[in-house]
């Protein structure tokens, strides 16, 4: 953990997150209603809490897989170089795919992942992000579904970390250095 001391101020409550996850799941279920199976791809590590809650609310046959991609490491700033350290276990060719991301910030990670997965020829591919920071976008990318638009703040909680800490918070909090 970094040597800096910090506090965490709540931005989005656990109750607000739960309500939004439920409504996102309804929209996703409606959009993919004609699928025989939806492959839900979680981007590790930040999306693991979100994908678990979202998957339980989606009323479709689903398969869950994971891909680990990162452009941050232990830093607060994106390196803009996306590294894939864990690829999918299954095939997505001809399948309906939903990529689940914790946060779309600069957009480099989501753009890279979508290009990689689109090259595998899925039937349909869409993205859902819990959080969106449009003020930080550096590439032209947008997820089809977004839980919350947030300002340019460094956040933690609900699976999102700062140097691998604070993923276990039930809410989204803003990091404030003291």
What is the distance between the alpha carbons of residues 62 and 38, in angstroms, rounded to a whole number? 5
Active site residue 53: no
User: Choosing from 53, 96, 102, 105, which is the catalytic residue?
Assistant: 105
75 Cβ contact list (under 8 Å, min separation 6) = none
29 in helix, strand or coil? Answer: helix
Residue 12, Ramachandran bin (φ over 0: left; ψ between -120 and 50: alpha; else beta): beta
- Written as six digits, the tokens of 112 are 């890279």
Question: What is the rounded CA–CA span in Å between residue 68 and residue 49?
Answer: 14
Active site residues: 105
């Amino acid at each position: 953990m970094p040597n800096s001391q910090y506090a965490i101020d709540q931005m989005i409550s656990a109750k607000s997150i739960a309500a939004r996850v439920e409504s996102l799941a309804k929209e996703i279920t409606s959009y993919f209603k004609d699928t025989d199976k939806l492959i839900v791809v979680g981007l590790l590590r930040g999306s693991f809490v979100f994908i678990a809650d979202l998957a339980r609310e989606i009323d479709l046959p689903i398969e869950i897989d994971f891909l680990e991609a990162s452009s941050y490491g232990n830093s607060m700033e994106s390196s803009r170089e996306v590294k894939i350290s864990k690829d999918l276990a299954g095939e997505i060719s001809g399948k309906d795919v939903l990529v689940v991301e914790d946060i779309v910030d600069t957009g480099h990670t989501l753009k890279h992942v979508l290009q990689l997965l689109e090259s595998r020829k899925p039937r349909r591919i869409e993205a859902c992000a819990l959080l969106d920071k449009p003020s930080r976008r550096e590439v032209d990318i947008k997820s089809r579904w977004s839980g919350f638009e947030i300002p340019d703040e460094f956040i933690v909680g609900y699976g999102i970390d700062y140097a691998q800490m604070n993923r276990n918070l039930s809410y989204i909090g803003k990091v404030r250095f003291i």
